[in-house]
A and B are shown apart, each in its own frame.
Chain A
Amino acid sequence: MSSNSPDKPQLIKNGKRLSGRSFTDLRPLKITAGVLKQADGSAMIEWGKNRIIAAVYGPHEVFPKFLTNNKKALVSARYVMAPFSSLEDHGRSGPNRRSIEISKVAKHVFENAILTSRFPKTIIDIHMDVVQSDGGTRIAAITAASVALADAGIPMKDLVAGVAVGKVDGELVVDLDKTEDNYGESDAAVVISPRTGDILLFQMEGLLTPEEVKRTVRLAKDAAVQVREVQVAALKKRYEQVASELGEQIA
């Protein structure tokens, strides 16, 4: 499947996308923090048709011990798609070439977001399991894992937020779904630290002009602010529940 495929549907009609969204609209996004009891921190993200569960364990002792870093905590990230997560065949469960790559880039995102020097000689495990997929799972998984890390009480510089920006029928659009991802001309997964505007991940496929790349980053930064609002709402809901039951006011 590509932008030249004969099966390609018309992705933009009358200035609207197939899903009826405008170019900058996000799909419906909901995050629930603290969904798993055994994990130190967890979150579930429902982003369009994507359903991803993120869990964080640690910091804990490193095994095997020779990997230990005396100056900082190690970060291990594991992204996997469930065999039943999409209509395409994902084979048996467990990591494959694609998920090993995504796990690696997610690890680098969180190494730059977590204050690893606070926990020398330890490791922080982040698990991201895609239960149902519909395009843009890597950024959705990183967004959920960021909430799970905050829920685990792991010190971070910011809640990182991800969004995909791509070129569809010649137009730059935000938050691509599966059809746009498959038949679009280009697609870039961007993870931003909304506090500083730093780019923690930029993975692009297809072709964009230098000017389009600049616009992509601008669109991603604006969208990341919206995503962060949902992350904040999820964490507030988790920690305000008790207070509201007792009629206390927390701003």
Chain B
Amino acid sequence: MEKKLILPGDEVADTPKRMDGCFIDGGKTYAAVVSMGQDEKVVPLKGKYLPIAGDYVVGVVSEERFSGFNVEINSPYEGQLSARDVRDPLRVDDVVFVKIAFVDEVNGATLADPRRLTGGEMLEIEPTKVPRVIGRNMSMVTMIRDHSATDIFVGKNGRIYLKGNNTSLAVEAILKICRESHTSGLTDRIKQFLENGGNSQ
């Protein structure tokens, strides 16, 4: 079926369904955000990252406290990292790749398993486009990693950490994915783009 742009207030299903970026009113399901719809699937195109337990995110240490650290995770909500979970000492402004262990009822995130990232660069993209950058079974990110010889840490919060000698090709490929994320046949186009060393033709 054809892809369709869905806007807030558009009917998505005539039965109540729990879906991302949707709400239920009067027994029907409506879209709440600008989304792309295909068949019964709805994919939001924009939105802030909300922490979900089990996600890996790239965060920046924003504050050091007696009992641990506050980590800014590109979300309206901050993450808390307990000093007990930190082996090597962290400092404010350190970049960490960290797991969200628990999320409370007001979206406060408890973090665990931090890994300090150094010597690379950080890229911020729209959090809703992260699944496209990762690809099915990590196909897209593996392809970029192989072609550009770059270590890539993709955080679900829309932050990507790149480390390697040729990060510019990886950055260009990721930005291209973001620009064209709502179109089909993207994997093939990105493959061609990488094989041509960053040229679309």
A residues at B contact (CB < 8 Å) = 40-41, 58-61, 70, 115, 118-122, 150-159, 193-196, 232, 235-236, 239-240, 242-243, 246, 248-251
Contact = CB atoms under 8 A, between A and B. Distances in A.
Category for how many chain B residues contact A: 20 to 34
B106 A120 contact: yes
Interface residue SS majority, chain B: loop
Interface stretch (B45-53, B83-91, B134-142): B45-53
Contacts of B50: 118-119
Residue among B2, B25, B46, B107 with most chain A CB within 10 A:
B46
B30 A250 contact: no
A157 B33 contact: no
Contacts of A120: 106-107
B32 interface: yes
A121 B107 contact: yes
Contacts of A152: 46
Q: What 9 pairs across the A-B complex have the smallest Cβ distances? A: A153-B46, A155-B32, A158-B9, A153-B47, A195-B9, A156-B8, A122-B76, A59-B76, A120-B106
Interface string B1-31: 0111101110000000000010101000010
A242 B77 contact: no
Contact of A159 (B9, B25, B180, B183): B9
Given A153-B128, A195-B30, A248 B184 contact: yes
Contact of A153 (B33, B78, B179, B182): B33
Given A153-B44, A250-B3, 13 more contacts: A121-B106, A121-B107, A150-B8, A151-B46, A155-B23, A155-B32, A156-B8, A157-B23, A243-B182, A249-B2, A250-B182, A251-B3, A251-B4
A60 B76 contact: yes
Contact of B179 (A70, A156, A242): A242
Contacts of B45: 153, 239
A154 B77 contact: no
Nearest to B25: A157
B8 A155 contact: yes
Given A155-B32, A159-B7, A243 B76 contact: no
Contacts of B33: 150, 153-156
Contacts of A121: 76-77, 106-107
Contacts of A153: 33-34, 44-48, 128
Contact of B180 (A150, A193, A240, A246): A246
Contacts of A60: 76
Contacts of A40: 48
